[in-house]
Chains A and B, each alone.
Chain A
């Protein structure tokens, strides 16, 4: 039994969908990844869905896959739109969640607690019009075209081009231990052991 599971349905493509309580998300994901017999070791995708019916909560959808068992499952967390849009990041379990969660943050404004580097990814960082994929966001954006052009032309094409401006962990001391090791040895890359076939 998945920890924190609220209810289950089946999608039209026959896949299992499990709704998980928001505060139990990490526990559920950890369980799914580590429990023998589940082994959902591969994160296919992370996305969010907002419905046209504004009463319905926004859903954050995780697509998981077990590469060994060739099985898929879909996990959903519901975030009521009246509430703060916050959910735990699964980056610690799958590094692939890094950019996927950043994209959801960029497009829906959902904050992922514990994400190492939560910045906008597709829109530029000073983008002021809001979160494009929200239903309250008009197709052509909030500002007039002239204002959009003005803001775009006044944006700095060289943003993040100085050591101070980089907002992820500063080089040197803050680098992960193993990477510093690798750098110190001047290694060009290691050939991994072939996986047991």
Chain B
């Protein structure tokens, strides 16, 4: 468990009389605000979105303002409701995987993994060691690109443009790797029930090693530009605070929960894919404000990089798919030359893989929080119910609580700190 607290070193408004670094004097600033003359109780209603560059997608916020202070903020979601869960009831388990790409489209690979794990739990399939490690690599790559988008867009929202370009440069490198592996930049559809759609190509390991070698340098640069930056600190510290108890009662998860000081990480506490065997730290914040969420996400990128390096070191040889012709498609050559393989191929494509009666829930630690896939089967090849536990939907539901009493401009920072992706909020 790492606790990461950063003291401000530069001359900021947060330096106290003795010149010691301190956090922003929140109370003092608050006092100034109340000293302003009361201009009557007329409240103003402002509509942000659904088409607004700072709402990170088609989120609509109706904000009631007293002067510039948010009295209440009412999010309206559903502008991107695409009926994923209904569609899933009409699809085979393997056909759901392309749908998962499109829910949280900032981390498609780890969504694929989440669904495959749930379907495998449901069917009682144990995946191969090589597949396990490759899936860990996929999850951590996703975490990095998702946090990079978050860093980039949030820094734009708060007025820093450079980190955006740096972050997107690193993203493009991971995109290249994804494209090498799956053939698609964004909609990867990487996993299959019982394995993966493809093994990694030849030069993949070298390229990924190269990436993990220089990626921390970019992080260090971003760290240097933002962490001790007076503007950044001033706009994020003490903004949108949530105590641990509040974070728990609002069911927050992921970096939002950990920034409030609750050390819960699914990878450590309910391990899947053998995460318990990797050496990494769960990053926990102290204050639960926007600044701490930033620190947590930044540090998580370093940790993901560590996991990637360990995974590359231990990557075993062997098959990527389980040896079971009922769940894994036979190779094309065998399907064309061998009668039995052809029958299995035909049955799988036409009828799908049947799951036994029952239900399974698997939660994985997605970049946004705990992504749960809950599958209920009645014995057919299509689930009766496919439920996604959407981390950013649930994290967003705490926004009204976080925003009240802040300035309108802080609302943008708070909203950005939730790290929402509307495809997942609305599904």
Q: Do chains A and B touch in the complex (CB under 8 A)?
A: yes
Point out the residue from B81, B121, B251 that lies within 8 Å of A123, measured CB to CB: B81
A99 within 8 Å of B by Cβ? yes
Q: How far is the CA of A63 from the CA of B81 in the complex (A)?
A: 23
Q: How far is the CA of A66 from the CA of B23 in the complex (A)?
A: 33
B30 surroundings in chain A (CB, below 8 A): 185-188
B74 surroundings in chain A (CB, below 8 A): 160, 166, 168
B33 surroundings in chain A (CB, below 8 A): 186, 188
| Contact flags A33-69 to B (C-beta < 8 A → 1, else 0) | 0000000011111010111110000000101000100
CB–CB B288/A192 < 8 A: yes
Mark the stretch among B143-151, B196-204, B240-248 that contacts chain A: B240-248
CB–CB B121/A12 < 8 A: yes
Q: How far is the CA of A83 from the CA of B269 in the complex (A)?
A: 40
CB–CB A195/B261 < 8 A: yes
Residue contacts A-B, CB under 8 angstroms, 22 given: A12-B121, A13-B121, A13-B122, A13-B361, A13-B362, A41-B248, A45-B387, A50-B384, A63-B372, A63-B374, A95-B250, A95-B398, A100-B251, A137-B86, A139-B90, A160-B74, A162-B45, A183-B405, A186-B405, A189-B26, A192-B287, A193-B243
B209 within 8 Å of A by Cβ? no
B155 within 8 Å of A by Cβ? no
Name the interface residues of A164-197: CB closer than 8 Å to any CB of B.
Answer: 166, 168, 171-172, 175, 179, 182-183, 185-195, 197
For A12, A45, A94, the residue with the greatest tally of chain B CB atoms inside 10 Å of its CB is A12
A52 surroundings in chain B (CB, below 8 A): 378, 384
B interface secondary structure, majority: mixed
| Chain B: minimal CB distance from A45 (Å) | 4
Name the interface residues of B59-99: CB closer than 8 Å to any CB of A.
Answer: 62, 64, 66, 69, 71-72, 74, 76-78, 81, 83, 85-87, 90
| Contact flags A1-26 to B (C-beta < 8 A → 1, else 0) | 00000000001110101000000000
CB–CB A67/B62 < 8 A: no
CB–CB A182/B404 < 8 A: yes
B270 within 8 Å of A by Cβ? yes
Point out the residue from B251, B289, B387 that lies within 8 Å of A191, measured CB to CB: B289
A147 within 8 Å of B by Cβ? no
Q: Which 6 A-B pairs have the closest CB atoms?
A: A96-B251, A192-B243, A122-B78, A12-B358, A186-B34, A99-B397
In the complex, the chain A residue whose C-beta lies closest to that of B36 is A186
CB within 8 Å: A-B pair count = 192
A150 within 8 Å of B by Cβ? no
CB–CB A45/B372 < 8 A: yes
CB–CB B241/A171 < 8 A: no
Tell whether A44 pairs with B251 under 8 Å between CB atoms, given A99-B394, A163-B43, A188-B405.
yes
CB–CB B29/A172 < 8 A: no
Tell whether A183 pairs with B78 under 8 Å between CB atoms, given A96-B394, A99-B393, A189-B26.
no
B78 surroundings in chain A (CB, below 8 A): 120-124
B359 surroundings in chain A (CB, below 8 A): 11-13, 17, 49
CB–CB B397/A12 < 8 A: no
Name the interface residues of B358-417: CB closer than 8 Å to any CB of A.
Answer: 358-363, 370, 372, 374, 376, 378, 384-385, 387, 389, 393-394, 396-398, 401, 404-407, 410
B356 within 8 Å of A by Cβ? yes
CB–CB A188/B389 < 8 A: no
CB–CB A183/B69 < 8 A: yes
A162 surroundings in chain B (CB, below 8 A): 45
B262 within 8 Å of A by Cβ? yes
In the complex, the chain B residue whose C-beta lies closest to that of A17 is B359
Q: How far is the CA of A47 from the CA of B55 in the complex (A)?
A: 27
B286 within 8 Å of A by Cβ? yes
CB–CB A74/B47 < 8 A: no
CB–CB B251/A195 < 8 A: no
Tell whether A44 pairs with B385 under 8 Å between CB atoms, given A182-B405, A192-B243.
no
B239 within 8 Å of A by Cβ? yes
CB–CB A139/B389 < 8 A: no
Name the interface residues of A138-164: CB closer than 8 Å to any CB of B.
Answer: 139, 158, 160-163
Footprint of B on A, CB under 8 Å? 11-13, 15, 17, 41-45, 47, 49-53, 61, 63, 67, 70, 72, 74, 94-100, 103, 107, 120-124, 132-133, 137, 139, 158, 160-163, 166, 168, 171-172, 175, 179, 182-183, 185-195, 197
For B122, B261, B396, the residue with the greatest tally of chain A CB atoms inside 10 Å of its CB is B261
| Chain A: minimal CB distance from B238 (Å) | 5
CB–CB A191/B241 < 8 A: yes
Tell whether A166 pairs with B361 under 8 Å between CB atoms, given A99-B394, A183-B405, A185-B30.
no
Q: How far is the CA of A153 from the CA of B195 in the complex (A)?
A: 44
B41 within 8 Å of A by Cβ? yes
B264 within 8 Å of A by Cβ? yes
B124 within 8 Å of A by Cβ? yes
| Chain B: minimal CB distance from A54 (Å) | 12
Q: How far is the CA of A63 from the CA of B26 in the complex (A)?
A: 38
In the complex, the chain A residue whose C-beta lies closest to that of B83 is A132
Q: How far is the CA of A191 from the CA of B121 in the complex (A)?
A: 42
Q: How far is the CA of A121 from the CA of B361 in the complex (A)?
A: 24
Point out the residue from B81, B87, B378 that lies within 8 Å of A53, measured CB to CB: B378
B288 surroundings in chain A (CB, below 8 A): 192
CB–CB B404/A179 < 8 A: yes
CB–CB B360/A11 < 8 A: yes
B277 within 8 Å of A by Cβ? no
| Chain B: minimal CB distance from A41 (Å) | 6
| Chain A: minimal CB distance from B27 (Å) | 8
CB–CB B69/A51 < 8 A: no
B263 surroundings in chain A (CB, below 8 A): 197
